[in-house]
Amino acid sequence: MGRKIKVLIIDDSAVVRKALSEVFQSDPVFEIMNPASDPFVAADRIEKECPDVITLDVEMPRMDGLTFLKKLMSQHPIPVVMCSSLTEKGEETTIRALEYGAVDIITKPKMGARQFIEESRIRICDSVKAAARVTVKKRTFTKSSYNPRKKLTADAVIPPAKKAAMVKTTERVISIGASTGGTEALKNVLMNLPRDVPGIVVVQHMPEGFTKAFAKRLDGLCQIRVKEAENGDTVLRGQALIAPGNRHTLLQRSGARYFVEVKDGPLVCRHRPSVDVLFRSTARYAGKNATGIIMTGMGDDGAKGLLEMKQAGAKTFAQDEKSCVVFGMPQVAIKLGAVDEIVPLSDLAAKITSCRS
């Protein structure tokens, strides 16, 4: 964007408002509006000056964030990034907020180790920058209804393969990467998969704590089983494993058994979990047995890893621009020559189903 991104912070905590303001002040791309202590104050501010992005607290006394979000999206749509604490109630509410039109989730900044503060700043700033590029549309609801550290590559977690993947087996593996807009896009894909689909491993950029609620929500909607990945989980037909927030998730192999390794490590392409890390490990341990899919998201995480998958003989797909919320990650992968086929979101489930054998 040529101009500064105007951000309105809505949170009933003065401490959080101050912390978020300091985060945005660290990056010259942002212009901070006078923060609001609740949605009623925010509504008055919005009438006078429209922000590019809103960061919205989930739990507030006079009107909760979910109610305000629904009113905003039905009357005056503005990109919203939900700001939530790590509580069970907050996690479930925030997942619903994504379905109601919020662009992304961030966790409330906390004081702590220098590395934690810096990584939080990166996550928050990147989320709001991505949201500023999203065009949100009016929704109708029914009652049922900064200076970051050096950007690391996947080398920081898993070194490049020195030899081709092991010989082909009868089992296939699907690896999927997504970021901004990916929660709803993934729901669209996974809900349309049959029970005998090959095992799936997903990296969706989300903060720690929220992936478990996200997986639980999908598990209740899909024919296949969906769960947050745990270290050592076997990759099984009819199951999707969602990488836990703040942990890298890699594909591993022992004989004919595929399983996942969940581990710590530095940010890779500004993310943890990183799509590049998953894709590189898939290239190494599955090779021609794999299918790689890169979906909506800002930045370039996953592009190089998808190229490694293609070079290892995997089938590779990218979500098309028209159906992406942000056409960043797929676009970079396409430019690198990492993609065999560009596919609309509505056709991705069929492509995955075709890879059953």
d(CA 212, CA 270): 21
CA 203-207-208 angle, to 5 degrees, is 95
Output DSSP code: residue 196: T
Between helix 88-99 and helix 65-75 the angle, nearest 10°, is: 10
d(CA 127, CA 114): 20
Evaluate whether 280 touches 154 at the Cβ level (below 8 Å). Answer: yes
d(CA 198, CA 195): 9
Residue closest to 181 by CA, chosen among 10, 328, 52: 328
Evaluate whether 307 touches 334 at the Cβ level (below 8 Å). Answer: no
Residue of 52, 104, 126, 205 marked catalytic: 205
Rg (CA), the chain: 20
82: CB partners within 8 A, 6+ apart: 55, 56, 58, 65, 69, 94, 97, 98, 102, 104, 105, 106
Evaluate whether 12 touches 60 at the Cβ level (below 8 Å). Answer: yes
339: CB partners within 8 A, 6+ apart: 294, 306, 310, 316, 317, 318, 330, 333
For residue 164, the tally of other CB atoms under 10 A from its CB is 13
The partner residues of 290 in beta bridges, in order of sequence, read: 173
H helix count then E strand count, the chain: 11, 14
Residue of 37, 175, 179, 274 marked catalytic: 179
- Would residue 205 show up in a list of annotated catalytic residues for this protein? yes
Evaluate whether 231 touches 206 at the Cβ level (below 8 Å). Answer: no
Residue of 38, 57, 276, 301 marked catalytic: 301
| Residues with catalytic roles | 179, 205, 301
